[in-house]
Amino acid sequence: MSNFRLLLHVSHFLKCPYFLKDRERKKAMPELPEVETVRRSLAKAMEGKPISQVSVWRDDLRIPVPQDFSDSVKGLFVHRVGRRAKYLQIFLDKEKVILIHLGMSGKMLIDIDSNGSNKKLKHEHVTFLIGDRVAIRFVDPRRFGLIDLCTRDKLSSHPLLVHLGLEPLTEEFSDAYLKKAFKNKKICIKAALLNQHMVAGLGNIYACEALWYSCLSPRRNALTITGKRAERLAQSIKQVLTEAISRGGSTLRDHVSPDGEMGYFQNSFKVYGRAGAPCFSCNKPVQKMIQLGRSTFFCPNCQR
């Protein structure tokens, strides 16, 4: 089996479930569960191992790859792979940290038993050779993703991270936090949930699902989310994200888990992508509307 080559597609671009139309597939965005799935896969492949080689095939991503990137990280050991919102963080020797955001179409391919990083794939922009047999390939057809490098002491103040809100799976994320975050916010609750300055990592799919679970209309004004409403919403967000992570995220395009299996949380969607289908709670048809240029799916009967 020494020559067996297993290509694990660890993507953070969502796959489309069978019921989604093409236009929904194109608008699907990566969210916290998918990025967390990628993080866990990269952690298994990279932690405790050296970056033996780095090949930058193309540096003109959304933010250009630093000119000295390859020389700066080559030979350093990977201590930990972390995540902040939708950003991957790879902690290295010498207090250095690689930041990765995969944009809309980006993915990390874990190539086990690789003979090296010199065999470039289509749309492959950066390749990390881990040890002497694992290649981590950053592939991004649209080039909306990015790779940057900073130091640990400047990580929290990095321009991409400094304004991010609270992580929703922390103990601090609660009804009290939501009440404070939404105070005097005269915007719809759906817009507030998608604002990364308020809730880090939450996106369109899981916002729709969490609002259904909490019986809140996506049209409802954010400043009205207090008391029991805030309590239900905080609990629903954590419930939806936790379940999605446990199922490997939502497979909307080509995301697979470290063992090569697809994520399957999309099979549990209550409203997202189900316009016209009966609500699982009241049997009335799920409706779709456009908010902030994004599709919102909801049950007008259950969500008030």
CA 26-14-291 angle, 5° bins: 55
Question: Annotated catalytic sites, by residue?
Answer: 30-31, 86, 294
Other Cβ atoms less than 10 A from the Cβ of 23: the count is 8
Taken as a whole, the chain contains a residue count of: 304
| 186 neighbors 225 (Cβ within 8 angstroms) | no
| 302 neighbors 215 (Cβ within 8 angstroms) | yes
Domain segments of the chain: what residues? 6-154, 175-298
Residue position matching structure tokens 């103990």: 171
What is each CA distance from 186 to 134, 145, 222, in whole angstroms? 50, 32, 6
**C-alpha to C-alpha distance for 49 and 80, rounded to whole angstroms:** 10
The reported pLDDT for the residue numbered 27 is 53
The reported pLDDT for the residue numbered 121 is 84
The reported pLDDT for the residue numbered 111 is 87
| 108 neighbors 25 (Cβ within 8 angstroms) | no
Beta strands in the chain (DSSP E): 6-11, 51-56, 78-84, 87-92, 96-101, 107-112, 124-130, 134-139, 146-151, 287-291, 294-298
**CATH fold of 175-298:** Helicase, Ruva Protein; domain 3 (1.10.8)
pTM value? 0.87
CATH code of the domain occupying 6-154: 3.20.190.10
The reported pLDDT for the residue numbered 288 is 98
CA 57-63-68 angle, 5° bins: 55
The reported pLDDT for the residue numbered 251 is 57
Instruction: Point out the residues of the chain with pLDDT beneath 70.
Output: 1-29, 114-118, 250-265
Q: Using one digit for the tens of pLDDT, what is the confidence trace for 73-102?
A: 999 999 999 999 999 999 999 999 999 998
The reported pLDDT for the residue numbered 154 is 97
**C-alpha to C-alpha distance for 266 and 205, rounded to whole angstroms:** 10
**C-alpha to C-alpha distance for 144 and 134, rounded to whole angstroms:** 25
The reported pLDDT for the residue numbered 30 is 76
